[in-house]
Amino acid sequence: MSYPYQIKSFEEYKEVYERSVRQPQNFWADIASNFQWRRKWDTVLEWNFKDLDVKWFKGAKLNITENCIDRHLEKLGNKPAIIWEPNNPDEHYRILTYNDLYNKVTQFANVLKNNGVKKGDRICLYMGMIPELAIAVLACARVGAIHSVIFGGFSARSIADRLQNANAEFVITCDGAFRGGKDIPLKSLIDDALESCPFVKRVIVCTRTRTPISMIKGRDVWWEDEIKKVETLGMAPAVAEEMDAEDPLFILYTSGSTGKPKGVVHTCAGYMIYTTYSFVNAFNYKQGDVYFCTADIGWITGHSYVVYGPLSAGATTLMFEGVPTYPDAGRFWDIVDKHRVNIIYTAPTAIRSLMSFGDEPLQGKDLSTLKVLGSVGEPINEEAWHWFHEKIGKGKCPLVDTWWQTETGGFMISNLANATPERTSWATLPLPGIQPALVDENGNEIEGAGSGNLCIKFPWPSMIRTTYGDHERCKQTYFSTYPNKYFTGDGALRDEDGNYKITGRVDDVLNVSGHRIGTAEVENAINMHAGVVESAVVGYPHDIKGQGIYAYVIYNGNHNAGDEDLIRKDITATVTRIIGPISKPDKIQFVSGLPKTRSGKIMRRILRKIAENETENLGDTSTLLDPKVVEEIKEGKL
Ligand code: WT7
């Protein structure tokens, strides 16, 4: 495959960018013409941010799996689509060619149909990073079902919340998942979740760990048995369902500053075009390159840049089941060496963690195949940037810092490898087609250099369309802060040349190891512990995780009184039960009161400063109801 829309130089970037602003419709129509359509669009774009009504490629018909698989078969049928590296390096890896992928996806799509799945049905996927997860994702898209993948670090209760919100009648899971030295009991967590989800009528269970699990008659079936059934029936490979450009492709839940996680909805055509276009441009992907994105498919990075973007581009995408430090801190570099990886895309938290092991894990690893490095998830600090660039890229590989979000579907601001200049710890320039804006507190757009709240003022194909089941919430959250703009929740700096440096969230959302965590959600979970009266959660700088979770807790339970560590463990266990292990607080400080204004609002600014060890400049505390609590909290600082 060749990519006529692949930008080759800075000059070309500037030209293309300018055109994308001047003639957005022509710009996107040209890119869209490189895809396979059942029917072409009537209009390229109709939009209205006020009511949040955005339609890309209206009237067009397609199926994303025909673009990710079928259209490659003639030329790339025998080329690897997916290379899968298991958790245990002694187990054999697997390669699925595009032909294999076609066979497996069309076969599993038949399994879905046999189990009664229809276009528009919601299917929840709770699986480890095995090829069957990618196959299941694509099989859902093949039959037009809306998938909702849930990361393995969420609790049964979080799964149940998502199943209920999506009203999903189907679940695909595994007996368990291998992650480093741990086995995660996926099916058992699903069983717990289903106690409160009687509407789920079918659970398809894929074998991975062979952990003993319960299988409930009439509800649970084995993946492998279902495959045998469609083989026995001699069913022809499932023909792709014809989808409307704006039909939902998937729901992915993400946390915000208030309430329960929102189901971000992405649609078929725009998402497909944008993930492919951005993948090919940011990484300067060349046919045959082996591309390794270390993200889990449970997050947007895995959706857009392990599965859909690379496969639609006919790329070879490497899926890794395990974690960076298992069996040791050289694992990523072993994988690069073993599979001759050309592009590696990972997160600052992983880089910082691996950096802390020194150079020893790099000894004897051949990294000479690497051509491009990528970073995502949080602002990359200078030390991590340089280590990645020098030690891994040997100073010769462009490092792309891709800024984007679950809601944006694909990269928004990033340098483009071998085309636009990189700059340490700066995401640099918007991709052509993306129109960012910086806005001050009063909602006025800032011109030229400056700093402010980062917005996007023109639609792009892979933008969020709605939050599942609650369109009003989507409008409120993203499109009402600043009229006629999408508000990202991030702050940014901009220089005279239009380069952006993302400074982090400006709302009550934490970024812990690249995972988005809502402080209100964690507070609710802590408050569910029987002895807790009230709590307040803030972030603090953490060497490896970027941000750690700092909880201030008012506790009046009698049980274990005096043994703070035991109480901390119980609170942590409560959070793990309610949200999942990814939201465990790193520090819990017991306090007798929280700094509140006279109107009862917690002054988080003060708590944040104390957690950050900035106890000197707490700013104005005169509006506090009881300034004494601040002194007490400062003294008890962990
Ligand atoms: C938030 C989105 C999008 C994939 C992973 C996270 C932060 C993400 C960068 C970057 C600075 C970044 C932002 C953003 N973020 N990438 N390259 N530089 N910050 O997806 O869970 O939707 O979180 O991650 O704060 O708002 P997400």
Residue 224 forms part of a structural domain: yes
CATH number, domain of 115, equals 3.40.50.980
Measured on CA atoms in the order 574, 579, 580, 585, is the torsion positive or negative? negative
Q: Are strands 436-439 and 372-375 parallel, antiparallel or unpaired?
A: unpaired
The pLDDT > 90 percentage for the chain reads 93
Q: List the residue whose alpha carbon is closest to atom 23 of ligand 1.
A: 405
Q: List the residue whose alpha carbon is closest to atom 3 of ligand 1.
A: 405
Residue 182 belongs to what domain range?
A: 98-244
pLDDT at 560 over 80: no
In angstroms, rounded to a whole number, what is the distance separating the alpha carbons of residues 219 and 170?
10
pLDDT of residue 259: 85
Ligand 1 in contact with 353 (CB < 6 A)?
no
Ligand 1 in contact with 488 (CB < 6 A)?
yes
Ligand 1 in contact with 262 (CB < 6 A)?
no
Q: List the residue whose alpha carbon is closest to atom 14 of ligand 1.
A: 405
Question: Ligand 1 centre from 108 Cα, in Å?
Answer: 33
Ligand 1 in contact with 465 (CB < 6 A)?
no
Determine the average pLDDT of the residues in 165-190.
Answer: 97
Residue 598 forms part of a structural domain: yes
Final residue in a domain of this structure, among 244, 277, 305: 244
For residue range 261-295, what is the model confidence (pLDDT) as tens digits?
999 999 999 999 999 999 999 999 999 999 999 99
pLDDT of residue 166: 98
Ligand 1 in contact with 304 (CB < 6 A)?
no
pLDDT of residue 451: 97
Residue among 380, 404, 429 to mutate when testing ligand 1 (max atoms within 8 A of CB): 404
**Does 529 lie in the same domain as 450?**
no
Determine the average pLDDT of the residues in 420-440.
Answer: 98
Q: Compute the mean pLDDT over every residue in the chain, rounded to the nearest whole number.
A: 96
For residue range 546-557, what is the model confidence (pLDDT) as tens digits?
999 999 999 998
In angstroms, rounded to a whole number, what is the distance separating the alpha carbons of residues 142 and 110?
10
**Does 461 lie in the same domain as 314?**
yes
Q: List the residue whose alpha carbon is closest to atom 7 of ligand 1.
A: 378
pLDDT of residue 341: 98
pLDDT bucket at 110, cuts 50 / 70 / 90: very high
**Does 538 lie in the same domain as 481?**
no
Question: Ligand 1 centre from 339 Cα, in Å?
Answer: 28
pLDDT at 168 over 80: yes
Question: Ligand 1 centre from 57 Cα, in Å?
Answer: 27
For residue range 128-160, what is the model confidence (pLDDT) as tens digits?
999 999 999 999 999 999 999 999 989 999 999
CATH number, domain of 447, equals 3.40.50.12780
pLDDT of residue 450: 97
pLDDT of residue 17: 98
Question: Ligand 1 centre from 406 Cα, in Å?
Answer: 8
Q: Are strands 53-58 and 43-48 parallel, antiparallel or unpaired?
A: antiparallel
pLDDT of residue 558: 80
pLDDT bucket at 627, cuts 50 / 70 / 90: confident
Residue 414 forms part of a structural domain: yes
pLDDT bucket at 6, cuts 50 / 70 / 90: very high
Question: Ligand 1 centre from 405 Cα, in Å?
Answer: 5
Q: Quote the strand ranges of 289-414, DSSP E.
A: 290-293, 316-320, 343-346, 372-375, 399-401
**Does 313 lie in the same domain as 189?**
no
pLDDT of residue 617: 80
Residue 89 forms part of a structural domain: no
pLDDT of residue 33: 98
Of 383-397, 574-588, 621-635, the range with the lowest mean pLDDT is 621-635
The pLDDT > 70 percentage for the chain reads 100
CB 355 within 8 A of CB 383: yes
Please list the residues that pair with 47 across neighbouring strands: 54
Determine the average pLDDT of the residues in 602-617.
Answer: 90
pLDDT of residue 474: 98
pLDDT at 487 over 90: yes
What ligand 1 atom has the least distance to the C-alpha of 380? 18
pLDDT of residue 198: 98
pLDDT at 598 over 90: no
For residue range 352-379, what is the model confidence (pLDDT) as tens digits?
999 999 999 999 999 999 999 999 999 9
Residue 387 forms part of a structural domain: yes
In angstroms, rounded to a whole number, what is the distance separating the alpha carbons of residues 119 and 96?
27
CB 221 within 8 A of CB 115: yes
Q: Which helix (H) or strand (E) holds 634?
A: helix 628-635
In angstroms, rounded to a whole number, what is the distance separating the alpha carbons of residues 317 and 276?
13
Q: List the residue whose alpha carbon is closest to atom 6 of ligand 1.
A: 377
Question: Ligand 1 centre from 379 Cα, in Å?
Answer: 8
For residue range 495-541, what is the model confidence (pLDDT) as tens digits?
999 999 999 999 999 999 999 999 999 999 999 999 999 999 999 99
Determine the average pLDDT of the residues in 39-44.
Answer: 98
Structure-derived torsion over alpha carbons of residues 454, 459, 464, 468, reported in degrees to the nearest 10: 120
Q: List the residue whose alpha carbon is closest to atom 18 of ligand 1.
A: 379
For residue range 54-67, what is the model confidence (pLDDT) as tens digits?
999 999 999 999 99
Residue 146 forms part of a structural domain: yes
Question: Ligand 1 centre from 524 Cα, in Å?
Answer: 24
Residue 78 forms part of a structural domain: no
Residue among 516, 521, 547, 583 to mutate when testing ligand 1 (max atoms within 8 A of CB): 516
Question: Ligand 1 centre from 349 Cα, in Å?
Answer: 12
Ligand 1 in contact with 255 (CB < 6 A)?
no
**Does 157 lie in the same domain as 141?**
yes
Final residue in a domain of this structure, among 229, 244, 259: 244
Residue 252 forms part of a structural domain: no
pLDDT of residue 557: 82
**Does 225 lie in the same domain as 136?**
yes
**Does 530 lie in the same domain as 460?**
no
- Tokens representing 91 are 């187990």
Ligand 1 in contact with 254 (CB < 6 A)?
yes
Ligand 1 in contact with 301 (CB < 6 A)?
yes
**Does 316 lie in the same domain as 464?**
yes
**Does 414 lie in the same domain as 300?**
yes
Burial 46-65 (b: 16+ CB within 10 A, else e): eeebeebebbbbeebbbbbb
- Residue indicated by tokens 């008012």: 554
**Does 347 lie in the same domain as 330?**
yes
pLDDT of residue 444: 96
**Does 385 lie in the same domain as 340?**
yes
Ligand 1 in contact with 401 (CB < 6 A)?
yes
pLDDT at 87 over 80: yes
What's the domain count of the chain? 3
What ligand 1 atom has the least distance to the C-alpha of 516? 21
In angstroms, rounded to a whole number, what is the distance separating the alpha carbons of residues 404 and 522?
24
**Does 599 lie in the same domain as 524?**
yes
pLDDT of residue 588: 97
For residue range 434-460, what is the model confidence (pLDDT) as tens digits?
999 999 989 999 999 999 999 999 999
CATH number, domain of 589, equals 3.30.300.30
Final residue in a domain of this structure, among 449, 484, 505: 505
pLDDT at 408 over 80: yes
Q: List the residue whose alpha carbon is closest to atom 20 of ligand 1.
A: 405
Residue among 307, 378, 456 to mutate when testing ligand 1 (max atoms within 8 A of CB): 378
| 487 backbone dihedrals φ, ψ, rounded to 5° | -100, 125
Question: Ligand 1 centre from 143 Cα, in Å?
Answer: 31
pLDDT bucket at 624, cuts 50 / 70 / 90: confident
One DSSP character per residue, 172-202 reads: EEES-EEETTEEE-HHHHHHHHHTT-TT--E
- Tokens representing 315 are 């790329």
pLDDT bucket at 211, cuts 50 / 70 / 90: very high
Q: How far is CA 31 from CA 43, 277, 303, 311, in A?
A: 14, 8, 21, 17
Question: Ligand 1 centre from 350 Cα, in Å?
Answer: 14
